[in-house]
Structure 1
């Protein structure tokens, strides 16, 4: 039995990399940095149905492609003094200081983000210090959110974690009752992190993004649609 099969699909002026797999549901992804569109579809889904599904999401696809295109024109971050870096929805100036002690971040709302690292540290080393701080911040915020929403939703999360993701804000393993949150959420307002936590927890009650799933979100977090729109305006990196 064939496990996968890849072909090219044209939907209006958008090129789509279509892969048929042994899966239950269609998945549409727009990947950074070039905005390539990838679609995974079950073997049972017809070409016409796939074409219609992509056409229905065409505005969403082009919005993401345009965002990636605009980002490519920006200068790549060098993690040097004077750069602006976003933290929990606000932009702060970054200041880099040499230190003989451990690398660390000190943040002050007035002065911004202060990065301490060894003299001559490479860009990837300075980036790693900042991302480790982002991870630490998220891990300090998430437990309280989960504890708050467990009795509201009537579910229990067995495990959770934070990791870099290219195309998603979060994932949920229903069988293991484990959720993962995207490291990039540290750049967005705290309410966005809260929404993704609730979203993934809701999947413990409903696997699909159907009307029942939306009703669950409505009951747990009224106003989630507005928060979702904030995330749609951004991208993962």
Structure 2
């Protein structure tokens, strides 16, 4: 098995398995010996192979063309896209079963993608503060900043040093409990940076159903795109 090793100014080893084909990367402290990194990888071999199998089996969405009556999802619910030409700034409106995208005449697929992506980010920004208000006092932590962005390889990430948390824009497409699970997961990294036994114990304590939500998120189709590293 090929493993990419990246040395960083960090204290702990971090193991990642990336879609779409299960590329493995280990981020290791600058002065950690190669033999120690190799032994660490061997001890996690079963976990790595399990993650690779999940990635290869996960369903992928068809490529979006942003055309009328194309399926799009908002908080886990399916809507049919409706393109409306308007001589004004772009708008997005949720109707009973349609996602209405208002754009200037002649707007191409890139403009449509950008307008809808910006709206999804707005949805996520609005959903996060109430969850922070619920969970930060319970966990006894305080994040410095929440960043919303398109992420190809993760649903979220946390920098325990800066206190910043990043969330994937695509969480606005998934059921709302998936966002809550990812946010709690990243907030707990402010307490325990690694995915060790203590971290899993904290997840079990504060969100006993986290494994079910994680499995649901992993079963849902992921975005279709040309993956690059």
Give the alignment's TM-score, normalised by structure 1.
0.83
Map of 1:223 onto structure 2: 209
Higher relative contact order (CA 8 A, sep 6+): 2
Shift in Å at residue 211 of structure 1?
2.0
Counterpart selection for 2:92 from 101, 105, 118: 105
Map of 1:13 onto structure 2: none
Matches within 5 A, 1:42-81: 42=28, 43-44=32-33, 45-47=36-38, 49-67=40-58, 71=60, 75-81=62-68
How many residue pairs match? The answer is 216
Shift in Å at residue 133 of structure 1?
0.8
The verdict on how the C-alpha distance between 1:225 and 1:75 changes in structure 2, with shifts beyond 3 A counting, is: closer
Query: Contact 1:167–1:236 at 8 Å: present in 2 too?
Result: no
SS of 2:51's equivalent in the other structure is helix
Map of 2:168 onto structure 1: 182
Map of 1:159 onto structure 2: 145
Shift in Å at residue 235 of structure 1?
6.0
For residues 58-86 of structure 1, what are the alpha-carbon distances to aligned partners after superposition, in whole Å with 9 as ceiling and x for unaligned? 1320220233xx53xx6421101010011
For residues 155-206 of structure 1, what are the alpha-carbon distances to aligned partners after superposition, in whole Å with 9 as ceiling and x for unaligned? 1122112111111111112122121111110111000001111111111111
Unpaired runs of 5+ residues, structure 1, are 1-9, 11-15
Matches within 5 A, 1:122-137: 122-137=108-123
Distance 2:128 2:200 in 1: 22
SS of 1:106's equivalent in the other structure is strand
Give the alignment's TM-score, normalised by structure 2.
0.86
Map of 1:116 onto structure 2: 102
* Residue 210 (1) aligns with residue 196 (2): yes
Query: Contact 2:78–2:97 at 8 Å: present in 1 too?
Result: no
The verdict on how the C-alpha distance between 1:194 and 1:46 changes in structure 2, with shifts beyond 3 A counting, is: closer
SS of 1:139's equivalent in the other structure is helix
SS of 1:168's equivalent in the other structure is coil
SS of 2:123's equivalent in the other structure is helix
Shift in Å at residue 146 of structure 1?
0.4
Distance 1:211 1:114 in 2: 46
Query: Contact 1:30–1:37 at 8 Å: present in 2 too?
Result: yes
